[in-house]
Chains A and B, each alone.
Chain A
Amino acid sequence: MHVLLEPWQQGIVQRAFLELALVGILGGALGCWVVFHGFSYSAESLAHTMLPGLVVAALLGLPLVAGAAAGLAGGAVAIALAAQVPGVGRDASVAIVTTTLFGLGVLLALSPSSPPGLSGLLFGDPLGVTRGDVVLTAAIAAGSLGALATLHRVLLVVGFDRVNATAFGARPAFADAALLVLVAATLLVGVQALGNLLVLAVVIGPAATARLLVRRMAPMMALAAGIAIAGAVAGLYLSYYANTAAGASVAAALVASFLLALLACRIRDARPAPSAARPS
């Protein structure tokens, strides 16, 4: 029992868990929409569009979270606009915007006047979050979950039949823009704990797992949030006792839960019917 309780006596572990749980609840719930709207690639790309914002903020001595916010907002709007250009598909528009912004970020980061240490933002550090980080994450998570609840019917109509959604009072462009802004908000608060490259694990992993197990959107969102919290717990234990990087451990736990669920579904589906002969 002591082995299970020991890590939680430390303040940094408690704060890390709170931060990861909040990001997990938001990422899990939002991730279900991301997965069903085919936004996984957009979300990953958005994470990369944070880079120039982060670098510029560092150069100007502004809070990094403000730079990330500016970079993400600019990236989200640019992707939504580029997707509306006839003849440019969503994939291509995302690729154009992402490579442009990521290239810009790299150019700035490699300039002689840039401060060192930006590479730390790539992998995150949940054990380094402050009380202020947790409060900000809680506020943004609450706002974003409220927005998801409000947008639920519109998102459902657009995802169900995009071509005819407008006839039922839901504009696909509005739903897309809203989703991208919410993805940006999630990346913004998740980047501190999980970093630029791993933050997407908490958006895609739990949703992809929950999708295998339930058949309705609202329960799927709740299950994904639960899976993300479980992943945070498992990752923190792994990190504490195996002395691995905390962010990467959480990401690994989320991937492992997906693979387990996939395996379980395969076994269930492959089980022969009672009347069928069992191959030896």
Chain B
Amino acid sequence: MQALSLVEVEGLAAAYEGPRVLEDVSFTLRAGERIAVLGPNGGGKSTLFRVLLGLLPPAAGAVRVEGRCGFVPQTERSRLDYPVTALDVALMGTLTRVPWWRPLGRSERAGGRRALERVGLGGFEQRSFGALSGGQRQRVLVARALVQEAPVLLLDEPFIGVDRPSEELLERLISELAGEGRGILISTHDIDQARACDRVLCLNRRQVAFGPAASTLTKAVLEATYGEAIVALDAQAAILPAHHH
């Protein structure tokens, strides 16, 4: 039985004001599936997410998204001096489904608390967001995406600046969420992270490859994805230049 497809992209091209920054992208995301979007910085990962979120109209091709996309942006974008608690941030996820003028009710607040518990931050509701560790902040942003109650989740480099316990918790949570029938896209430039997913989509300003992680991540595909950036590659691991943020 073929699982329900949540995202269908066919021949997508995208551009900001100027030349195309992404071309020839075609893939489907099925319910319960995790796809790693692999590529170098500037390779088009964030651009693809902007199109899927409806923030950037496609320059060509067709995009169909079933329902909404929940979104976990890179944590470094959020302000640390902002006067919000962990629960305040999680509840920001309600804005995509509860009209902006309507005050939040008890059930929404309970939903925010449940989302924080799910990312292992029960009891942290009233903590200042800026006072949390990098890994805890990332988990709060994942809780916000859970509050969005979307069938599709987009995670933009979710493991950058995240401590080891948070990383393990997030990996476990992501496979649980997929198990519940959500479709999950994870952008990363870490090949080991990509191997842990069901399928990989390799982007380097155009689609290099798309398929099951094990058979797709060949030396040729990785070289085409990263160009000269690959320093060494063997059967077990690829070593990429460290990305500093």
Complex partner residue of A211 from B69, B83, B89, B104, CB under 8 angstroms: B83
B94 at the interface (CB under 8 A from A): yes
User: In the complex, what residues of A have CB within 8 A of residue B8's CB?
Assistant: none
B130-173 to A contact mask, C-beta < 8 Å, 1/0 = 00000000000000100010000000000000000000000000
Nearest Cβ in chain A — how far from B153, in angstroms? Answer: 12
CB distance from B163 to the nearest CB of A (A): 21
Minimum CB–CB distance for B14 against chain A, Å: 16
Chain A residues within an 8 Å CB radius of B21: none
Are B92's CB and A153's CB within 8 A? Answer: yes
Q: A220 at interface (Cβ–Cβ under 8 A)?
A: yes
Closest to B79 in A: A160
| A168: chain B residues within 8 A (beta carbon) | 71, 92-93, 95-96, 144, 148
Partner of B55, one of A150, A161, A167, A211: A167
Instruction: Say if the beta carbon of A157 comes within 8 Å of chain B.
Output: yes
- Asked if A69 CB lies within 8 Å of chain B CBs, one says no
Task: Name the A residues within 8 Å of B92 (CB-CB).
Answer: 153, 156-157, 160, 168
Q: Are A169 and B96 touching (Cβ within 8 A)?
A: yes
A119 to chain B, nearest CB (A): 39
Q: Does A268 contact B (CB under 8 A)?
A: no
- Give a binary string over A141-152; 1 marks a CB under 8 Å from any B CB, 0 the rest: 000000001110
Residue of A whose beta carbon sits closest to that of B98 = A153
Which residues of chain A from 165 to 220 have a CB within 8 Å of any chain B CB? 166-170, 211, 214-217, 220
B116-130: which have CB < 8 Å to A? 128
Known contacts A167-B71, A217-B83; decide if A154 and B77 are in contact (CB<8 Å).
no
Cβ B83 vs Cβ A216 within 8 A = yes
Q: Give the residues in chain A near B73, CB-CB below 8 Å.
A: 161, 163-164, 167
| In the complex, B175 has a CB within 8 A of chain A | no
From known contacts A153-B104, A216-B85, infer whether A164 and B79 are also in contact, taking CB-CB under 8 Å. no
Does any Cβ of B come within 8 Å of A7's Cβ? Answer: no
Which of chain B's residues have a CB closer than 8 A to the CB of A149? 103
Cα of A220 to Cα of B83 in the assembled complex, Å: 8
Q: In the complex, what residues of B have CB within 8 A of residue A103's CB? A: none
Judge whether B223 is part of the interface by a CB distance below 8 angstroms.
no
- Would you call B128 and A215 a contact (CB within 8 A)? yes
- Interface pair B77/A164, CB less than 8 Å apart: yes
Chain A residue with Cβ nearest B99: A169
Closest chain B residue, CB of each to CB of A174: B100
Within 8 Å by CB of A169, from B82, B84, B100, B128, lies B100
Residues on A with C-beta less than 8 A from B104 are: 153
B60-73 CB mask vs A (1 if < 8 Å, else 0) is: 00000000010101
Q: Which residue of B lies closest to A211 (CB)?
A: B83
Q: Which of B69, B71, B78, B94 contacts A160 (CB 8 A)?
A: B78
Query: What's the nearest-Cβ distance from chain A to residue B177, in Å?
Result: 18
What is the distance, in angstroms, from A20's C-beta to the closest C-beta of chain B?
26
Q: How far does the alpha carbon of A151 sit from the alpha carbon of B92 in the complex, in Å? A: 13
Contact A161 B101 (CB under 8 A): no
Asked whether A170 and B77 contact (CB < 8 A) given A36-B82, A36-B83, the answer is no
- Give residues 108-166 of A contacting B (CB, 8 Å): 149-151, 153-154, 156-157, 159-161, 163-164, 166
Contacts of B230 in A (CB 8 A): none
B24 lies within 8 A of chain A by Cβ: no
Cβ-neighbour of B53 out of A157, A167, A220 (below 8 A): A167
Query: Which residues of chain A come closer than 8 Å to B144, judged between CB atoms?
Result: 168
Q: In the complex, how many angstroms separate the beta carbon of B136 from the nearest chain A beta carbon?
A: 16
Q: Which residues of A contact B95 (CB under 8 A)?
A: 153-154, 157, 168-170
Minimum CB–CB distance from B141 to chain A (whole Å) comes to: 9
12 contacts across the A-B interface (CB closer than 8 A): A36-B82, A153-B94, A154-B95, A157-B95, A160-B79, A160-B82, A163-B73, A164-B73, A168-B96, A170-B100, A217-B84, A217-B88
A161-B73, A168-B148 given. 7 additional CB < 8 A pairs? Answer: A32-B83, A167-B53, A168-B71, A169-B95, A170-B100, A216-B85, A216-B88
